[in-house]
Chains A and B, each alone.
Chain A
Amino acid sequence: MSINSVSSTPNAMVQSLLDMRAQFDDLQRQLSTGQKSATYAGLGSSRGLSVSLNSQLSAIGGYDNSIDMINTRLQLAQTSLGGMSTIGNQMKALVVQGGSTGGNANSAQLTAQSSLQQLLGLLNTQAGGRYLFSGRATDQPSVETYDHIVNGDGARAGLTQLINERAQADLGASGLGRLTLSAPTSTSVSVAEDAVSPFGFKLGSVSSNLTNATVSGPTGSPASVSVDFTGGQPSAGDTLTLRLNLPDGTTTNLTLTATTQSPPGDNQFTIGATTAATAANFQSTLSTSLGALAGSTLKAASAMSASNDFFSADLNNPPQRVAGPPFDTATAMTAGTTANTVVWYTGEAGTDPARDTATTRIDPSLVVSYGARANETGLKTLVQNVATLAAVNISPSDPNLSNFTAALSQRIGTGLSGAPGQQSVTDIEAELAGTQTTMASVKDQHAQTSATLNDMLQQISGVSNEAVGAQILTLQTRMEASMQTTAMLYQLSLTKFL
């Protein structure tokens, strides 16, 4: 600052005093607000950066809110999945250890029924009004109620009815699994499927070491197998094995053994006096054996198949049902409608991966997928197998009860164990846990980034109290000196000394 002559109008001096005063006021504002400037202009060349930093900080805040919210959802989902996993394991243990066969069947069914109720309850878990297992339809319950699923809802058929209809279709009116036996000649026996249909036993193959007998087939459509004893009598101990395909994709073998005993044991036929008598005995044994097999293994396979159809459905694809009535002569499946059949899964049914039904960006470069559908393979398999046991008709007076429950238990045990490579509840738990881990590490990263960004922002727009304090002190000294000098300058006028 140039030194002005003492007596010229001291405009500049007064101006600089005013400037210092304004500076003082600004420093006081900085001290009280902690902000360097009240306008962007005053922030200096980093003002643009401060806008970016604020926007990044706000975005991180938003991402962290999302992470917290998703975490709540995932924790609830994990709790549900853990519960379902436990139920699955208990049921598997019960079934595999024979707890559901013969006389135990009824109590096992009661266990299955309560387990199913629990499973359905867990699948309808909500997090803040949001159904976790409904895919995108988060406002819809994931699954129907226990009562509707098992017993149906008015005009809409439930699982029990579907199993029942399928059993009729598979067993046929004669109870022989839709096979018919006949004697084309007095010395031969023919077994044939009654129609081309997906129901009942399907003749897979036949192998025989019956001496003198001619075994042919399966041939034709509907397929048939014939056993001709015209060439002579079989020897005792000779066997014929019929390989039968079942509705659930499994197979079973029926082996008939020739014997000289009369009456013959189970699955044995007596070699008669003539080949015609042998043929008649053979037909009679075959009929009895098929009847017993149909009442046990076929019935179990039929229930599994009906249950599979029921649980493979969603709102876009209602369950496949037996075309009928009459059901015992049905030859085809037909698609049910939402009006005549209960659809167990009421959430959103898409073909895309279930995880992708809920996605959220938790970082500018990271999107997590954490959706789930109750009809995912792992969950569906569990519910389906438990529900089958819960819904089949177990009658203590059924002569085939023991074999039927054994066949059913074996199938349910296999189903609950799951095929290798097939999704299980644990797989879903693991996937969601992976997401949780990712989110936890992203959140840690966010905390560090936030700290850095805040630090930078503070450097740009914030002030250090110490620095401001020091500046105020310096300024105060300068102002005092200036004011004193100004006062002295005004005193220094020649006028005073004349």
Chain B
Amino acid sequence: MSLTQALNTALSGLNAAQTSVSIVAGNIANAQTPGYVRKVAVLTQNSVGTAGASVQVSAINRVLDQFVQTQLRTESAGAAYTDARAKLYDQLQDVYGTPNSTSTLESSFNTFTTALQGLSTSPDDATAQSAVLAAAQQFAQQLNTMSAGVQGLRQQAELAISDDVTQANNCLQQIAQLNQQLSAAGQDPSAAALSDQRDNYIDQLSKLMDIRVINSGNNQVTVLTTSGVELCGAKASTLSFDAQGVVTPQAQWNADPTKRTIGTVTLTSPNGTSTDLVANGALRSGEIAGFLDMRDNTLVQAQGQLDQLAAAMSSALSDTTTAGTAATSGAQSGFDVDVGGLQAGNTVSITYTDTATNTQKQITLMRVDDPSVLPLSNSATNNPNDTVVGIDFSGGMASVISQINTALGATGMTASNPSGTTLRILDDGAANTVDVNAVSTTTTATGLTGGVALPFFTDGSNPYTGAITATGAESVGLAGRIAVNQSLISDPSKLVAYTSGVAAGDSTRPDFLYNQMVNATLTYSPSAGIGTSGAPFSASAGTYLRQIISVQGANAANADSLKQGQDVVLSSLQSRFDAGSGVSIDQEMSDLLTLQNTYAANARVMSTIKDMLTSLMQLGL
């Protein structure tokens, strides 16, 4: 009977409208819920009998633009990366202080050089002497503080990575769990809510690391890093991070686990195999990658720059280069130098001409007390044009000469030890395939008297010599340890009295100190990111200082503008995503009006049918 059919159809209309209203209600209620995607009811018609069709809610769809969603995840990884960097860069800028204030490194450096200038004017003035020491101590202190600040930031990055890894693990587990629930849910309406939840966790994860999401059908997703390492499928892999409690300048990441002294991110798959994600370069974007980059590159460089400044200034005041004296033996000629005063890290520099090609070359012999670091790389000195050979001095002169002869082997030059600690380098005489042009030694002064140079700054309590040991170059972390020589503090008159019998008004040593600090050209290792290995940066200490501030300031400004750029991209994508998938109250309200009308109309149909049925009943009477 078609009236009953019509009644059923109207009823299905009422049901559909009710369901739709409840979806609208859900949309409105969740308008501010993060990760909530607008839901719509999918209405389908059911043919009933010969005429007409009833309606039913066949599914609840999520209004989701997957293309925008994928883009949004990529960009939010990028945004989190730039954000992490910008945040740390911003804090790093605080380490360098406020421009034009007295709390900056440049200000303490200027105070120090001005004090030296004052001492050079009044060498006999005890006030001028103590002013130099006070300014130097303040400068050293400033370097110490800045070094501690940089390491504090590295530690902060280390702990942030640790937190992020914990959070990432939580996301991975939730995703895996939701995957399992969704596989059981099938077409159940609850699937939409579960998918929302899963998307929310994937979104969170995408902020932490750069991921790729593959829909593997049947409501399942597989999460991989962009480099293709699987993070989560039906089961989740586990990330782990061995955070170090104390981060020192020496603590650096290394692909070799035995040399690594700082945390790394390891992924353990459900079947137990583990991968070092940092070593694989699997982390390219996201907050974790941002913090890793700061911890292992930017902040290491910032420390390196301070260290190079400290090392160059220490050496400038303490090192003396002594030219060799000419020596001959038969037809051979060359030079004698005394290697007795050489300390670990001090060098003998040999300049010679290869007459076959008529090219001038340099060999640098560096004293090494820790044989485990041999052989040295050519980058052990800042000179780009020399061949560096480490010489172990522990075996006495005979062993030293034999090591040097091995090193000189192919050049045609020979080393010998005519007496005491004298090293003699000779050419090959009549054969004339090589000419020795110059031999000189560079030694670090250890006492306050004996020469104009003095160990003004010390590494802890020892003179800084630039020694290379198993723990690395002495310069690493020097900025954190540099101090003014304690014996100089207890006897400031040594700022003037460079040897016995020096007149009180003799400005030789103050002039030397001032000149070395202000005018002398010093060379800085390119490892700190300023200069290149082919053309290392060489300039006065003040210029290097300027360079540090300049480079760091520019980097921080760049990091900030990158972040702002990324934020704009992210926020416009977010707007697009929201426009497509978010809840618009107006939309919902107008839907509600329509639904209200639909409901009323269906009810009206029912009431009409009822009237019709009543009429029919009365007819039958």
B100: interface (CB < 8 Å): yes
Taken together as a complex, chains A and B put the C-alpha atoms of A35 and B103 apart, in Å, by: 15
Closest to B543 in A: A52
B139: interface (CB < 8 Å): no
Question: Which chain A residues numbered 1 to 51 have a C-beta less than 8 Å away from chain B?
Answer: 2, 4-9, 11-12, 15, 35, 37-45, 47-48, 50-51
Shortest distance from the beta carbon of A367 to any chain B beta carbon, whole Å: 9
Contact A494 B585 (CB under 8 A): yes
Residues from chain A with a CB closer than 8 A to the CB of B114 are 58-59, 61-62, 65
Contact A54 B586 (CB under 8 A): no
Residues from chain A with a CB closer than 8 A to the CB of B574 are 11-12
Contact A8 B575 (CB under 8 A): yes
Taken together as a complex, chains A and B put the C-alpha atoms of A116 and B424 apart, in Å, by: 61
7 A-B pairs with the lowest CB-CB distances in the bound complex, closest first: A138-B505, A48-B550, A136-B503, A58-B110, A40-B553, A41-B556, A62-B114
Residues from chain B with a CB closer than 8 A to the CB of A54 are 100, 106-107, 110
Number of A-B contacts (CB under 8 A): 183
**Binary contact track A448-480/B, C-beta < 8 Å → 1, others 0:** 000000000100010000000000000000000
Residues from chain B with a CB closer than 8 A to the CB of A218 are none
Residues from chain A with a CB closer than 8 A to the CB of B503 are 135-140, 348
**Binary contact track A124-166/B, C-beta < 8 Å → 1, others 0:** 0000111000111111100000000000000000000000000
Contacting B584 at CB < 8 Å: which of A7, A58, A66, A461?
Answer: A7
Residues from chain B with a CB closer than 8 A to the CB of A130 are 122, 124-125, 505
B546: interface (CB < 8 Å): yes
A174: interface (CB < 8 Å): no
Residues from chain B with a CB closer than 8 A to the CB of A140 are 503-504
Residues from chain A with a CB closer than 8 A to the CB of B545 are 51, 55
Contact B93 A40 (CB under 8 A): yes
Residues from chain A with a CB closer than 8 A to the CB of B547 are 48
Contact B585 A493 (CB under 8 A): yes
A358: interface (CB < 8 Å): yes
Contact B99 A47 (CB under 8 A): yes
**Binary contact track B537-562/A, C-beta < 8 Å → 1, others 0:** 00000110111011011101100100
Given contacts A9-B582, A62-B113, A359-B507, contact A51 B106 (CB under 8 A): yes
B81: interface (CB < 8 Å): no
Contact A40 B549 (CB under 8 A): yes
Interface pairs (17), CB distance under 8 Å? A7-B586, A35-B98, A39-B93, A43-B553, A59-B518, A62-B114, A63-B117, A65-B114, A66-B118, A66-B121, A129-B125, A130-B124, A134-B505, A135-B505, A358-B505, A359-B507, A371-B505
B506: interface (CB < 8 Å): yes
Residues from chain A with a CB closer than 8 A to the CB of B121 are 65-66, 69-70, 360
Closest to A54 in B: B106
Residues from chain B with a CB closer than 8 A to the CB of A8 are 575, 578-579, 582, 584
Contact A139 B89 (CB under 8 A): no
B109: interface (CB < 8 Å): yes
Contact B93 A138 (CB under 8 A): no
Closest to B518 in A: A59
Residues of B within 8 A of A (CB): 31-32, 89-90, 93-94, 96, 98-100, 106-107, 109-111, 113-114, 117-118, 120-125, 503-507, 511, 514, 518-519, 542-543, 545-547, 549-550, 552-554, 556-557, 560, 571-572, 574-575, 578-579, 582, 584-587, 589-590, 593
Taken together as a complex, chains A and B put the C-alpha atoms of A5 and B584 apart, in Å, by: 9
Residues from chain A with a CB closer than 8 A to the CB of B519 are 364
Contact B557 A62 (CB under 8 A): no
Given contacts A48-B546, A59-B117, contact A40 B96 (CB under 8 A): yes
Contact A41 B93 (CB under 8 A): yes
Q: What's the tally of chain A residues with a CB closer than 8 Å to chain B?
A: 60
Classify the interface of chain B: helix, strand, loop or mixed. helix
Question: Which chain A residues numbered 328 to 365 have a C-beta less than 8 Å away from chain B?
Answer: 348, 357-361, 364
Residues from chain B with a CB closer than 8 A to the CB of A39 are 90, 93-94, 96, 98-99, 553, 556
**Residue of B99, B575, B584 contacting most chain A CB atoms (<10 Å):** B99
Taken together as a complex, chains A and B put the C-alpha atoms of A43 and B550 apart, in Å, by: 10
Closest to A496 in B: B589
Closest to A348 in B: B503
Residues from chain A with a CB closer than 8 A to the CB of B111 are 58
A498: interface (CB < 8 Å): yes
Taken together as a complex, chains A and B put the C-alpha atoms of A129 and B572 apart, in Å, by: 74
Contacting A43 at CB < 8 Å: which of B89, B99, B507?
Answer: B99
A441: interface (CB < 8 Å): no
**Residue of A8, A38, A137 contacting most chain B CB atoms (<10 Å):** A8
Residues from chain B with a CB closer than 8 A to the CB of A137 are 503-505
Contact A48 B514 (CB under 8 A): no
Contact B504 A51 (CB under 8 A): no
Contact B507 A59 (CB under 8 A): no
A395: interface (CB < 8 Å): no
A495: interface (CB < 8 Å): yes
Contact A361 B553 (CB under 8 A): no
Residues from chain B with a CB closer than 8 A to the CB of A5 are 579, 584
Taken together as a complex, chains A and B put the C-alpha atoms of A10 and B518 apart, in Å, by: 56
Contact B109 A55 (CB under 8 A): yes
Residues from chain B with a CB closer than 8 A to the CB of A40 are 93, 96, 99, 549-550, 552-553, 556
Shortest distance from the beta carbon of B548 to any chain A beta carbon, whole Å: 9
Taken together as a complex, chains A and B put the C-alpha atoms of A494 and B546 apart, in Å, by: 60
Contact B546 A361 (CB under 8 A): no
Contact A35 B99 (CB under 8 A): yes
Known: A357-B505, A461-B100. 4 other contacts (CB 8 A): A45-B554, A52-B543, A54-B106, A65-B117
Taken together as a complex, chains A and B put the C-alpha atoms of A361 and B518 apart, in Å, by: 12
Closest to A136 in B: B503
Contact B514 A139 (CB under 8 A): no
Taken together as a complex, chains A and B put the C-alpha atoms of A6 and B507 apart, in Å, by: 77
Contact A361 B514 (CB under 8 A): yes
Taken together as a complex, chains A and B put the C-alpha atoms of A361 and B507 apart, in Å, by: 11
Contact A495 B113 (CB under 8 A): no
Contact A55 B546 (CB under 8 A): yes
Contact A498 B125 (CB under 8 A): no
**Binary contact track A63-85/B, C-beta < 8 Å → 1, others 0:** 10110011000000000000000
Contact B106 A55 (CB under 8 A): yes
Contact A62 B117 (CB under 8 A): yes
Residues from chain A with a CB closer than 8 A to the CB of B120 are 66, 360-361
Given contacts A50-B99, A138-B503, contact A6 B106 (CB under 8 A): no
Contact B99 A461 (CB under 8 A): yes
Residues from chain B with a CB closer than 8 A to the CB of A9 are 31-32, 578, 582
Residues from chain B with a CB closer than 8 A to the CB of A364 are 519
Residues from chain B with a CB closer than 8 A to the CB of A129 are 124-125
Taken together as a complex, chains A and B put the C-alpha atoms of A2 and B575 apart, in Å, by: 10
Question: Which chain A residues numbered 87 to 129 have a C-beta less than 8 Å away from chain B?
Answer: 128-129
Shortest distance from the beta carbon of A489 to any chain B beta carbon, whole Å: 12
Taken together as a complex, chains A and B put the C-alpha atoms of A69 and B120 apart, in Å, by: 12
**Residue of B125, B505, B550, B556 contacting most chain A CB atoms (<10 Å):** B505
Residues from chain A with a CB closer than 8 A to the CB of B99 are 35, 37-40, 43, 47, 50, 461
Contact B575 A51 (CB under 8 A): no
Contact B32 A41 (CB under 8 A): no
Residues from chain A with a CB closer than 8 A to the CB of B586 are 6-7, 493-494
